[in-house]
Amino acid sequence: MKAKAVQSGMREDATPPAGRDGKQRLGNVATLEDARWQKDKARVIAECPWFTALPQEALDFLGQQVRRRHVLAGKMILIHGSVNDCVFGIVSGRVRVGTSSVDGQETNLADIVAGGWFGDYSTYDDAPSPLDCVALEDSVLLVLPNVALHEAGTRWPYLYRNMQQDLLQRTRRLCDLIELVLVHPLAVRIAIRLMVLFRDHGVRTESGSWKLSVKVTQRELATLCYGTRQHVNRVLNAWSKEGFINLRNDHIECSNYSQLVAKAGESGFAVT
């Protein structure tokens, strides 16, 4: 399916109208909102690996070029086969990157959280995106046009070196993923995926266990681990009987993280 990036369920900021009595109040709110936006924008740009070690002048230039976009949960940001003219940074929310077949079979590669960037698939050669990107939560994004990105790369060439290194790291992770899917059993894949989820969304409970702050259904976990819901359910129930995994209303708790790490390494996969 070839299409441009979907805009339904998205909006970019506009200044709301104000009546006479509300001008001062709205002006104060707008000032606070603008200050928060400037801070969030600077943080997400500064934390991006593409922009590491760039001078402040470069960061300021990039900050002047970005727009803010609000995306509702469940809305597509990019579609497989589309050629997009910008890259995205996540201020808040969560975006899933993957692809799906015509019969609805999903393959999910990663969940990108606040501070992460994505969408550079068409940046290098204007080729169509090989992946879908969908908002898992209501999200706020930075939108940086490719034209501005390339202008920054021309003025500060170290940016391209950073992007190359980031691309190489993602390629290595993709090779690890191929190994994981083709060589290692489902239980190992589930353990590693849970470790990633706990790293990104884990909170410590009063009892000392780890709990996911986001709901992850067994169907979602199956697509993330390249298995079936039935087989994932079987593994999780076995771990529940062993006493280190608890399942409560699509929230997963781990009472013994060391045991989860041990499960991840059972087939010799290099757990990092």
Q: Which class in CATH covers the domain with range 184-264?
A: mainly alpha
Domain range list for the chain = 21-180, 184-264
Strands (E), the chain: 10-12, 67-71, 76-78, 86-92, 94-100, 106-113, 117-118, 132-135, 139-145, 202-204, 210-212, 245-248, 251-254
What are the structure tokens assigned to 167, written together? 């691309």
User: Residue 12's pLDDT is what?
Assistant: 66
CATH, range 21-180: 2.60.120.10
User: Residue 91's pLDDT is what?
Assistant: 97
In 3D space, the residue among 113, 70, 109, 108 whose CA is nearest the CA of residue 90 turns out to be 113
- In the block, residue with structure tokens 């934390």: 47
Compute CA distances 55 → 37, 46, 159, whole Å: 21, 10, 11
Helices (H), 121-246: 146-155, 158-183, 186-201, 218-225, 229-242
By the 8 A CB rule, do 143 and 75 touch?
Answer: no
Count of CB atoms within 10 A of residue 104's CB?
6
Determine the 3-state secondary structure of 69 from DSSP.
strand
User: Residue 143's pLDDT is what?
Assistant: 97
The DSSP code for 132 is E
pLDDT along the chain (272 residues), means of 10: 50 52 59 89 96 96 97 94 93 92 77 93 87 95 96 97 95 90 94 92 88 88 91 95 88 92 90 69
Count of CB atoms within 10 A of residue 73's CB?
13
User: Residue 271's pLDDT is what?
Assistant: 73
d(C-alpha 181, C-alpha 84), whole Å: 29
d(C-alpha 66, C-alpha 32), whole Å: 19
